[in-house]
Chains A and B, each alone.
Chain A
Amino acid sequence: MIGYAVRRLLLVAVVAWGVTTFLFTLARLSGDPAELMSPPEASEAVIEATRERLGLNEPFFVQYGDALLSSFTFDFGDSFSFSQPAMAMVLERLGPSLWLVIPSLVLCVVLSFGIGTFAALRPSRLSGRLLMVGAFVTGSVPYFWMALLLVLLLAVNLQWLPATGSEGMASLVIPVVALTLAAVSTTTRLVRGQLLDSFNEGHVLTARSKGVPPWKVLFGHALPGAMPPLLAWLGIEFSFLFSALLVLEPLLGYNGLGALLIRSVGNQDFPLVQASVFCMAMLITLVNIAMDLIVRLIDPRLRAKAAA
């Protein structure tokens, strides 16, 4: 198990290298940041000085080496446009972003397990079917559109909540609700499906045939059996929620990592782009590896495979 964890963590290094290389290549292909940063009337000498200051005149491999080094030391240098250490800015914005992602994920787990289980217990009854239709409909609405609808309803018409900004708990409500609705739909359907499969497993029938009471069949036998794929899915859901921030945060004027990244891409602010994408990629990879390890902890069959 520990060996497995170490191997998975080595994979993180591979992901880090891949992300760095990809970003580096992409950044070099997208134009000259020195020109972009300088005022339109700036002379060639000024632009050249900027280029020199940013290290853009170094040979290609020196620049690539610097990029790799920064990834492995978590030091991406100063932001071009803000002249502050890029990593510090990213970490400062990570907090507000997690304030959106974590509550959404927790709400998603509570709602989807609750509704999914309820629906799985009555697969052919009207109430169970209506819930699944509801989940399908909410899942079909794009989260950014949902966010705009919520702004229109709760901020513009009812004026209960601020339409934009990231001040105070009230500003969390609209993005969290939009993200939760988007995430809860697929997860609910997955919980229901996994549980229904689990109900048909021989060991669940065995439990029923032993006279185990229904609540214990559900929580002690069927649900644990359904957990491994659901946990793996929650890791993927975490990735989805983070990627959704790239659209949602700029849309709602929320000061998080997503908004920062979008802005730094627009400014061709390499250090900031690198730091924020790197940070997101690492976070998503680590969460997924953690889910993987939890799955292996609860499932002895996979644990045996991991030890081998």
Chain B
Amino acid sequence: MSEGLLETAAAPSPEGFRQDALVMKDVRVTLPTGKGLLRIIRDATFHVAKGEIVALAGESGSGKSTSIMAALRLLPPGARVDGTIILDGQDVLAMPRRELRGLRAKRARLVFQDPWRSLHPMKRIGAQLVESARTADPSLSREAARELAERMLARVGIPEPASRMDSYPHEVSGGQSQRIVIAMALVAGPSVLFCDEPTTALDVTTQAQILELLRELNRELGLSIVIATHDLDVISDLADRLVVMYAGEVVEAGPTAEVLSRPRHPYTWSLLRSAPGSHEPGERLHTIEGRPPGPAESPAGCAFAARCPSVHEVCLSTRPEPRPVAPGRSAACLLTEGYGPITAGARDE
């Protein structure tokens, strides 16, 4: 499943920016409020190579969706973004608004969790696709845009695309809506597709179909895909690489198969252990005790220390930095820095 993309380095080198679809370096997202500063993302660094599928995994509030919104500079006004974000070779945070709109229109598109809410309820599907195509390429005639839209609807598996163009969003099912939203992104011919929990709102069969569609688009068009998800089972077959986020930090990154089979961060390990897929039928589901620190809290040490099964005294006072732990892999855990490995006993418990 890894298609020879595993050799990509975990930490991007500056000269590596050109081959990367997305580089996030020391990205920090803060929101000043009346009650103090909220830290939504704390110095997150990860990258997505061209043609790669990368999953951002984590619980709600881990910062995975915020990372995507930050990459497109779509965060609400008031949110402050520091660090470096290079999207398709361009510095997103330094871009003038007009250029940024061009980047969103042509090169980096976004698919949201809830397909019903992503389409305008009062406009025909065709009109929304045509608008999308002509925003990306204003020289396109209305007729050419319609033709392109129909072709893309057919490509994402919408039956009778020509008649669907005249439908309204409430007339199609959720799975079809999500396909339509994906087609709406594809008419622009983007090089990066961001998907924020693209299948969470859908039933299991439809989920699998949408994920398969994303896989095909990645193979055929060389589309780089970034998926935010809380469901490790969903992305295990799809993503080339996994970026695990916890409390606004990247705690582990590496090729999906390796991270899933040999997690190097206790959080990843706990997350895998609590996934329904790793349980026998009838077995009680494992949970991770406690809750992650909120965006208003700033723990002195490791953010996961309070819930960590392998916590060491030093973890409470020292904040771990992401370190390379194997070729193409990194983890932010003091245990990987010689404070004693995760014991076999802890892992089997």
Residues of chain A having any CB pair with chain B under 8 Å: 124, 201-203, 205-213, 220-221, 224-225, 298-301, 304
Question: Contact between A206 and B119 (Cβ–Cβ < 8 Å)?
Answer: yes
A291 to B286, CA, bound (A): 56
Q: Looking across the interface, which residue of chain A has its beta carbon closest to that of B120?
A: A203
Question: Contact between A202 and B122 (Cβ–Cβ < 8 Å)?
Answer: no
B279 close to A (CB within 8 Å):
no
Given A203-B119, A211-B101, 16 extra CB contacts under 8 A: A202-B118, A206-B110, A206-B112, A206-B119, A209-B74, A210-B131, A210-B188, A212-B105, A221-B120, A225-B121, A298-B122, A299-B121, A300-B122, A300-B170, A301-B170, A304-B171
A298 to B168, CA, bound (A): 12
B42 close to A (CB within 8 Å):
no
Residues of B contacting A211 with CB < 8 Å?
Answer: 101-106, 135-136
Residues of A contacting B168 with CB < 8 Å?
Answer: 300-301, 304
B338 close to A (CB within 8 Å):
no
A202 to B188, CA, bound (A): 19
Residues of B contacting A221 with CB < 8 Å?
Answer: 120
Q: Assuming the A-B contacts A301-B168, A301-B170, are A210 and B135 also in contact, with contact meaning beta carbons closer than 8 angstroms in the complex?
A: yes
For B104, B121, B132, B184, the residue with the greatest tally of chain A CB atoms inside 10 Å of its CB is B121
A213 to B131, CA, bound (A): 11
Residue-wise, chain B 156-176 has the 8 Å CB interface mask toward A (1 for contact) of 000000000000101100000
Could you list 7 examples of A-B contacts with CB < 8 Å? A124-B77, A202-B112, A203-B117, A206-B181, A210-B136, A211-B102, A225-B122
| A-B Cβ contacts below 8 A, count | 73
Which of B78, B121, B188 lies in contact with A203, CB distance below 8 A? B121
Question: Contact between B74 and A205 (Cβ–Cβ < 8 Å)?
Answer: yes
B55 close to A (CB within 8 Å):
no
A210 to B105, CA, bound (A): 5
Which of B78, B135, B171 lies in contact with A212, CB distance below 8 A? B135
Residues of A contacting B59 with CB < 8 Å?
Answer: none
B138 to chain A, nearest CB (A): 11
B43 close to A (CB within 8 Å):
no
Residues of B contacting A299 with CB < 8 Å?
Answer: 121-122
Which of B106, B117, B136 lies in contact with A202, CB distance below 8 A? B117
Residues of A contacting B104 with CB < 8 Å?
Answer: 208-211
Question: Contact between B135 and A201 (Cβ–Cβ < 8 Å)?
Answer: no
Question: Contact between A300 and B102 (Cβ–Cβ < 8 Å)?
Answer: no
A272 to B28, CA, bound (A): 73
A164 to B63, CA, bound (A): 66
A5 to B131, CA, bound (A): 33
Q: Looking across the interface, which residue of chain A has its beta carbon closest to that of B102?
A: A211
Which secondary structure dominates chain A's binding surface? Answer: helix
Question: Contact between B117 and A210 (Cβ–Cβ < 8 Å)?
Answer: no
Which of A209, A212, A224, A301 lies in contact with B131, CB distance below 8 A? A212
Residues of B contacting A212 with CB < 8 Å?
Answer: 101, 105, 131, 135
Question: Contact between B78 and A124 (Cβ–Cβ < 8 Å)?
Answer: yes
Residue-wise, chain B 216-234 has the 8 Å CB interface mask toward A (1 for contact) of 0000000000000000000
B145 to chain A, nearest CB (A): 13
Residues of B contacting A301 with CB < 8 Å?
Answer: 121-122, 168, 170
Residues of A contacting B82 with CB < 8 Å?
Answer: none
Residue-wise, chain B 81-97 has the 8 Å CB interface mask toward A (1 for contact) of 00000000000000000
A128 to chain B, nearest CB (A): 12
Residues of B contacting A206 with CB < 8 Å?
Answer: 110, 112, 118-120, 181, 184
Residues of A contacting B171 with CB < 8 Å?
Answer: 304
B127 to chain A, nearest CB (A): 10
A225 to B121, CA, bound (A): 8
B114 close to A (CB within 8 Å):
yes
Residues of A contacting B181 with CB < 8 Å?
Answer: 206
A298 to B135, CA, bound (A): 24
A209 to B114, CA, bound (A): 15
Question: Contact between B74 and A208 (Cβ–Cβ < 8 Å)?
Answer: yes
Q: Assuming the A-B contacts A210-B184, A210-B188, A299-B122, are A201 and B103 also in contact, with contact meaning beta carbons closer than 8 angstroms in the complex?
A: no
A231 to chain B, nearest CB (A): 12
Residues of A contacting B101 with CB < 8 Å?
Answer: 211-213
B109 close to A (CB within 8 Å):
yes
For B72, B78, B131, B188, the residue with the greatest tally of chain A CB atoms inside 10 Å of its CB is B131
Residues of A contacting B106 with CB < 8 Å?
Answer: 211
Instruction: Please report which residues of chain B, range 314-347, place their CB below 8 angstroms from some CB of chain A when the two chains form the complex.
Output: none
Question: Contact between A201 and B122 (Cβ–Cβ < 8 Å)?
Answer: no
Question: Contact between B122 and A205 (Cβ–Cβ < 8 Å)?
Answer: no
A-B pairs with lowest CB-CB distance, top 4:
A211-B105, A202-B117, A211-B104, A300-B168
A301 to B105, CA, bound (A): 28
B166 to chain A, nearest CB (A): 11
Instruction: Please report which residues of chain B, range 297-318, place their CB below 8 angstroms from some CB of chain A when the two chains form the complex.
Output: none
B206 to chain A, nearest CB (A): 18
For A201, A207, A211, A220, the residue with the greatest tally of chain B CB atoms inside 10 Å of its CB is A211
A264 to B181, CA, bound (A): 62
A202 to B168, CA, bound (A): 16
Residues of B contacting A213 with CB < 8 Å?
Answer: 101
Residues of A contacting B184 with CB < 8 Å?
Answer: 206, 210
A107 to B120, CA, bound (A): 29
B228 to chain A, nearest CB (A): 14
A220 to B130, CA, bound (A): 13
Q: Assuming the A-B contacts A202-B112, A300-B170, A304-B170, are A209 and B72 also in contact, with contact meaning beta carbons closer than 8 angstroms in the complex?
A: yes
For A206, A207, A208, A298, the residue with the greatest tally of chain B CB atoms inside 10 Å of its CB is A206
Question: Contact between A210 and B120 (Cβ–Cβ < 8 Å)?
Answer: no
B18 to chain A, nearest CB (A): 23
A207 to B132, CA, bound (A): 8
